[in-house]
Amino acid sequence: MTEQPTISDPASLREFCLIEKLFARRARSRLRADVSIGIGDDAAVTRFSPDNPGEADLVTATDMLSEGTHFLPETPAHSVGHRCLAVNLSDIAAMGATPLWASMALSLPAVDEQWLNEFADGFFALADVCGVELIGGDTVRGPLSVAVTVQGSVPCAQAVLRSGAQTGDLLYVTGEPGAAAAGRLLLAEAEELPASTQALANKFMYPEPRLQVGLELRPLVNAMIDISDGLHADLKHLLAASSKGAALDVDKLCLHAGVESGFSRAQAIELAMCGGEDYELLFAVSPRNVAQVHKLAKGWSCRLACIGVVTESAQVEWRQGEESYAIPDSGYRHF
Ligand code: ADP
Ligand code: MG
């Protein structure tokens, strides 16, 4: 499978520069007062009546999956249907918002009814569980790709942004980062997976957007992001938006048992740091709210790890015990 670019790839850096150069800079002229948060966070936040604090904010996220880049031709259509919605719901979760509506733009090389039926089953199974209604879209002939936009709501001015982390905040991550990337590797290598590795493949094929977790964290956390590009890359996005650094410990990461048993320790850590596609939540919380977060986490279906602390420095320092831990350089590929 063509791997998803990560921040350490030149290709990904180009993507970020491109967005900044072509879109973000121009958009920053701020034509409209009703855009609270434009380009640069997990989702946009807009408001119909900027002077009415009683009105909920509208939260909008768009993500696209393309065959060859985000999924292999042999990927089950059901998984593609699930993922194209899940990746957007994950961005909505990262804002602490409730998803409401979805629109879908579909490009298809030909009409394959069986593929489309399975795709729709995957999409609607998740949409139904999350209370999201498909309200429109577009369908054209072209290379297989699907772009979904999800809109949701959040109480006025309460969306959780990437930019609010404070020095001294604790950094937490949900779930078991690296499991989805391990699943992606296994899927690319084997036609039929042994049952023991199917759980990892499912982490890649059926990411679970952390909507309830995001909602419960909203009043407690200072900053949040979902992990799509890899823990290290998305941590850097959160810290850059907050103008902070961090000190972290790789031994604090919760790793999936299948990753721990199937990969070396160094590979497992690299999968967790750089693998991407986790769709877990990474957040910064003040020490005074930590006990409340731990209490809430007892009701979650996912694990939670405190991986470090936000610092005033501009550095992101990973350690393993007392030793400093180097994150792979750009351009270097382990797998
Ligand atoms: P995420 O990984 O959370 O989906 P991205 O890295 O895809 O976020 O995008 C970062 C920011 O850039 C987001 O605010 C997104 O809306 C914006 N963005 C990405 N591509 C475009 C584009 N073509 N036009 C305008 N904004 C874009
Ligand atoms: Mg995101």
Q: Which tens digits make up the pLDDT trace of 229-273?
A: 999 999 999 999 999 999 999 999 999 999 999 999 999 999 999
Residue nearest to atom 3 of ligand 1 (CA): 42
Q: Measured between alpha carbons, how far is 212 from 232 in angstroms, rounded to an integer? A: 24
Residue predicted with more confidence, 32 or 41: 41
Nearest to 333 by CA among 6, 69, 70: 6
User: Ligand 1 centre from 209 Cα, in Å?
Assistant: 18
Asked whether 234 lines ligand 1 (CB < 6 A), one says no
For ion ligand 2, residues whose CB falls within 5 Å: 42, 91, 226
Range 162-181 burial, b when 16+ CB lie within 10 A, else e: bbbbeeebbbbbbbbbbbbb
User: Ligand 1 centre from 270 Cα, in Å?
Assistant: 25
Mean pLDDT of the chain: 90
**Domain map (residue ranges) of the chain:** 32-154, 162-324
Angle at 81 between CA 80 and CA 85, to 5 degrees: 105
Reported residue count of the chain is 335
Residue nearest to atom 5 of ligand 1 (CA): 42
Asked whether 178 lines ligand 1 (CB < 6 A), one says no
Q: Best substitution site from 39, 89, 226, 227 to test ligand 1's pocket, by max atoms within 8 Å of Cβ?
A: 39
Q: Measured between alpha carbons, how far is 133 from 123 in angstroms, rounded to an integer? A: 11
The domains spanning 32-154 and 162-324 adopt the same CATH topology: no
User: Ligand 2 centre from 92 Cα, in Å?
Assistant: 8
Q: Where are the alpha helices (DSSP H) in 3-54?
A: 10-18, 25-27
Asked whether 42 lines ligand 1 (CB < 6 A), one says yes
Is residue 84 within 8 Å of residue 63, measured between CB atoms? yes
pLDDT digit string (tens) for 182-192?
Answer: 999 998 887 77
User: Ligand 2 centre from 212 Cα, in Å?
Assistant: 16
Q: Best substitution site from 19, 29, 210 to test ligand 1's pocket, by max atoms within 8 Å of Cβ?
A: 19
Mean pLDDT value of segment 49-64: 90
User: Ligand 2 centre from 227 Cα, in Å?
Assistant: 6
Global pTM value = 0.93
Neighbours of 31 (CB within 10 A): 8
Q: Which residues contact 38 (CB under 8 A, 6 or more apart)?
A: 24, 27, 28, 30, 44
User: Ligand 1 centre from 288 Cα, in Å?
Assistant: 32
Task: Identify residue 219 by its one-letter amino acid code.
Answer: P
Sheet-wide strand order for 44-46? 35-37, 44-46, 57-66, 145-154, 98-108, 133-141
> Residue 228 CA to chain centroid, in angstroms?
4
pLDDT digit string (tens) for 272-321?
Answer: 999 999 999 999 999 999 999 999 999 999 999 999 999 999 899 999 98
Asked whether 41 lines ligand 1 (CB < 6 A), one says yes
Tokens 């042994």 correspond to what residue?
Answer: 194
Nearest to 144 by CA among 70, 90, 201, 63: 70
Residue nearest to atom 15 of ligand 1 (CA): 39
Asked whether 277 lines ligand 1 (CB < 6 A), one says no
Mean pLDDT value of segment 8-29: 67
Q: Measured between alpha carbons, how far is 228 from 213 in angstroms, rounded to an integer? A: 17
Share of residues in the chain with pLDDT > 90 (%): 78
Asked whether 91 lines ligand 1 (CB < 6 A), one says yes
User: Ligand 1 centre from 41 Cα, in Å?
Assistant: 8
Res 80: pLDDT = 97
Ligand nearest 282 Cα, by number?
2
Is residue 45 within 8 Å of residue 155, measured between CB atoms? no
Ligand nearest 70 Cα, by number?
1
Q: Measured between alpha carbons, how far is 262 from 104 in angstroms, rounded to an integer? A: 37
The superfamily (CATH) of domain 32-154 is PurM-like, N-terminal domain (3.30.1330.10)
Is residue 33 within 8 Å of residue 50, measured between CB atoms? yes
Confidence bin at 330 (pLDDT 50/70/90): very low
Is residue 245 within 8 Å of residue 316, measured between CB atoms? yes
Is residue 100 within 8 Å of residue 140, measured between CB atoms? no
Q: In this model, does residue 13 exceed pLDDT 90?
A: no
Share of residues in the chain with pLDDT > 70 (%): 91
Is residue 208 within 8 Å of residue 255, measured between CB atoms? no
Neighbours of 22 (CB within 10 A): 10
Is residue 223 within 8 Å of residue 283, measured between CB atoms? yes
Task: Identify residue 136 by its one-letter amino acid code.
Answer: G
> Residue 295 CA to chain centroid, in angstroms?
24
Q: What is the CATH number of domain 162-324?
A: 3.90.650.10
Using DSSP, state whether 253 is helix, strand or coil.
Answer: coil
> Residue 170 CA to chain centroid, in angstroms?
19
Is residue 156 within 8 Å of residue 47, measured between CB atoms? yes
Q: Measured between alpha carbons, how far is 11 from 128 in angstroms, rounded to an integer? A: 36
Q: In this model, does residue 85 exceed pLDDT 50?
A: yes
Asked whether 57 lines ligand 1 (CB < 6 A), one says no
Is residue 67 within 8 Å of residue 145, measured between CB atoms? yes
Neighbours of 37 (CB within 10 A): 19
